[in-house]
Amino acid sequence: MLIVLISLIVALACIGGWVAYQAVQAKDALERAQGTVATLQTELTSVDLMTLDVSSLTASADSFAADVSDAREHTNDPLFKLAENLPTLGPNLTAVRQLTDSLDQLSTEALLPIVDFGKTLTPDALKPVDGKFNVDLLRNGDTALQNADTAITATSASLASIDTTDTIGQISSAKTTLTSALGKAQKQIVTVRGTLGTVEGMLGMNGPRHYVLAFLNNAETTGLGGGPASLSMLTVDNGAFAITDQASSQDFPTTKGPVMDVDANLLGIYGQGINQTLNWSTSRPDFPTAGTLIKGWWEKYKGGTVDGVVSIDPIALSDMLQATGPVTLEGSKEQVTAENAVSLLLHDIYLRYEPSQIQASTDAFFKDAATSIFKGVTTTSAAPDALLKSVNKAIDSGDLMAWSANADETKLLEGTKLSGVMPTDNTKSTLTGTFFRDVSVSKTDYWLETSVNLQTDVCSNPNNPTFTQTISLHSTITEEEADTLAPFVVGVNFKGRKFSTEVYGYGPIGSTITGTQVGDSSVGGSPRTSSEDLGRPVGRAVVDLAPGETNTVTFTYTGAAGTYGPPALQVTPMINTTATAIDAPGCK
């Protein structure tokens, strides 16, 4: 639009000395403004607050505003305005002046206030202080956007009043272009304000919110990483947050039937335990399912209303402690560090107590650890960019997930790894999943090593692709350890004689499972019936391992003709990271 105005001013410069001079000066100013438009568009659409160059954005906005204001000064010169009375040429001059006035109005009343607000969006300002978010920052942002919305409405009204009936086509086109741009900007502001409103709700700015923090125990694996061994109620009120209640998995009975009804297909795949045992609520590799079940457990046996569920495991805590530094537990006074968090919380703690005391003592320890670590992480003076990096790593690896009972909040999570939802098509990637669930009722996945190899010809044969998952499980526990460790650790079902793990293979969307094979084992293991879940074929096998033994499972799938993205693997977050490999000839 600025280019059109510049061209018009050049054409109008022929009307005489002083008016021509004003026209040339306006042209030069608008050309300078035009040069900053692309930079402003890039800077204003940046969503990475950690890399946003606020000083550069401010300089660009100030430069744009100054140049447009300069152009407005020249087009509002008395002689320029006097020339607007000339026949034929006059209406064109008037329209150019009014369009320039509109740009200046937009700059001063919308752009500059938003940029001023942007200066406050620093990582330090966004970081919680003493257990509270800076909610005034959000309120100020909403006010700035509301004022910008009002300014755009006024500018649009000014544009609508510009008479282009007797002007050349370029001027009418410029008016149309600017009007369209303002409409798009206004829609974007409405969207952003809606997002801010949702975030304000999440932070308890419209009334307290209650979220269950589920601390998953990867030593007893389930599809999403581990059962929720320890739960804390996080209450958020006007940005201030605190743990207001706690529970262990033992506070939720397993003998009173299902906590809620689930689809019969899920019961066929995962058994009745998925909705009758809190620890198995995370069996399905779909966090909304887990969140709904955990909400049901808490509300039924603890009371109140749960607005959402967040899961985190010791692996994620270890990542965060890399940024925050050690945390001292309030009860035992020992330090939890990035180096010892996983071993302490998933192994060492079980070796401290007599067999009869393990369960009660570890429950008390985990409550202390949950409170102390949460306080340490949320009141840290760590660099915000380092903490955000660790959080992103935990999200990417599936060690941190979130679910909300609020539909608007759910939309914010859609399409992110934080949601814990597998893709619903093969467009961006052709995902194959491998998930594990301990059925020994043990804590021995500390000694479990796993690997997954995917072989596929999907890139060279998209009309009839095949996918083969080869999954290896190896127990590193020794017979001596299995014989001497408490049944609570090695498993009450088999008491260390063997360790039993269910393996679930989820094929690509739209494929069918064509084979399941389980390798040899001295203590058992077998394939089970296949099924379908989340739009994917599901293979299931039970792998039994004696101490020190290795076994394998192979699932094969055939895909229909279609469009496939590059092959990808998703696996259960394990204490010992699963080694993965993809063999896909022809793929980039």
Q: What's the pLDDT tens digit per position in 65-84?
A: 777 777 777 777 776 677 76
Question: What backbone torsions phi and psi does residue 585 show, to the nearest 5 degrees?
Answer: -55, 135
> For the segment 524-567, what is each residue's pLDDT rounded down to a tens digit?
888 988 899 999 999 999 999 999 999 999 999 999 999 999 99
pLDDT value of residue 75: 74
pLDDT confidence bin for 95, thresholds 50/70/90: confident
pLDDT > 90? residue 129? no
Indicate the pLDDT class of residue 331, thresholds 50, 70 and 90.
confident
Return d(Cα 499, Cα 221) in angstroms, integer.
12
Residue 587 in this model has a pLDDT that exceeds 70: yes
Question: 494-511, pLDDT tens digit by residue?
Answer: 999 999 999 999 999 999
How many residues are listed for the chain in this entry?
A: 588
Give the residue among 390, 395, 397 at the shortest CA–CA distance from 321: 390
Question: What gap in Å lies between CA 488 and CA 279, rounded to an integer?
Answer: 15
Residue type, 242: A
d(CA 130, CA 42): 35
Q: What is the mean pLDDT of residues 363-367?
A: 90
- Confidence band (pLDDT; 50, 70, 90) for 15? very low
Task: Name the DSSP letter for residue 127.
Answer: S
- pLDDT above 80 (res 51): no
Mean pLDDT calculated for residue range 342-351: 95
More confident of the two residues 416 and 151: 416
pLDDT of residue 45: 57
Neighbours of 53 (CB within 10 A): 11
Q: Is 11 a residue whose pLDDT tops 60?
A: no
Residue 438 identity: D
Residue 63 scores a pLDDT above 50: yes
DSSP, collapsed to helix, strand or coil, labels residue 580 as strand
Q: How crowded is residue 415: how many other Cβ atoms within 10 Å of its Cβ?
A: 11
Nearest to 437 by CA among 270, 267, 223: 223
Side-chain half-sphere exposure of 417, counting CA atoms within 13 A: 12
Residue 245's alpha-carbon distances to 204, 242, 371, 374, 501, in angstroms, are 17, 9, 10, 13, 33
pLDDT value of residue 173: 75
Contact 437, 502 (CB under 8 A): yes
CA-derived radius of gyration, the chain: 31
**CA distance linking residue 274 with residue 307, whole number of Å:** 21
| CA atoms of 24 and 71, how far apart (whole Å) | 10
- Is the pLDDT at 169 greater than 80? The verdict is no
Q: How far apart are CA 294 and CA 122, in angstroms?
A: 35
- For residue 47, the model assigns a pLDDT of 45
> Which residue, chain included where needed, has tokens 């006010």?
143
Q: Which domains does the chain have, with CATH numbers?
A: 2-202 (1.20.58), 209-407 (3.40.630), 423-583 (2.60.40)
Tokens standing for residue 282? 């995370």
First-residue to last-residue Cα distance in the chain: 41
Q: What is the pLDDT of residue 8?
A: 56
Name the more confident of 41 and 468. Answer: 468
Rounded CA separation 64/36 (Å):
6
The whole-number average pLDDT for the span 431-459 is 96
Identify the pLDDT of residue 118. 75
Tokens representing 290 are: 């887990």
Summarize the chain as % helix, strand, coil (round to 5).
50, 20, 30
Lowest average pLDDT, out of 112-116, 538-542, 580-584, goes to: 112-116
Range of weakest confidence among 248-262, 308-322, 418-432: 248-262
Q: What is the pLDDT of residue 409?
A: 92
Give the count of alpha carbons within 13 A of 395, CB side only: 16
Residue 481 CB burial class (10 angstroms; 0-12, 13-18, ≥19): middle
- Looking at residue 534, its pLDDT comes to 97
Contact (CB, 8 A) for 185 and 5: no
Q: What percent of the chain has pLDDT above 70? A: 88
Residue ranges in 48-134 assigned as alpha helix (H): 54-75, 78-82, 89-106, 112-118, 123-126
HEC assignment per residue over 474-516: EECCCHHHHHHCCHHHHCCCCCCCCEEEEEEEECCCCCEEEEE
Query: Looking at residues 281-295, what average pLDDT do you find?
Result: 98
pTM, to two decimals: 0.86
Residue 1 has pLDDT above 50, yes or no: yes
Query: How far, in Å, are 312, 314, 333, 373 from residue 370 at the CA level?
Result: 10, 10, 14, 5
Q: Is the pLDDT assigned to residue 276 strictly greater than 60?
A: yes
Query: Coil, strand or helix: which one is 170?
Result: helix
Confidence band for 588, pLDDT divided at 50, 70 and 90: confident
How high does pLDDT run on average in the chain? 87
Backbone phi and psi for residue 493, each to the nearest 5 degrees, phi listed first: -75, -45
Q: How many CB atoms lie within 10 A of CB 485?
A: 20
Judged on CB neighbours under 10 Å (0-12, 13-18, 19+), 277 is buried
Dihedral over alpha carbons 283, 289, 292, 298 (to 10 degrees): 0
Residue with the bigger pLDDT between 394 and 104: it is: 394
With bands split at pLDDT 50, 70 and 90, how would you rate the model's confidence at 50?
A: very low
Task: List the Cα angle 330/332/337 in 5-degree steps.
Answer: 80
pLDDT in the model for residue 49? 44
CB proximity list for 214: less than 8 A, separation 6 or greater: 228, 230, 231, 282, 290, 294, 309, 310, 311, 312
Q: Phi first, then psi: what are they for 404, rounded to 5°?
A: -125, 145
CB 65 within 8 A of CB 108: yes
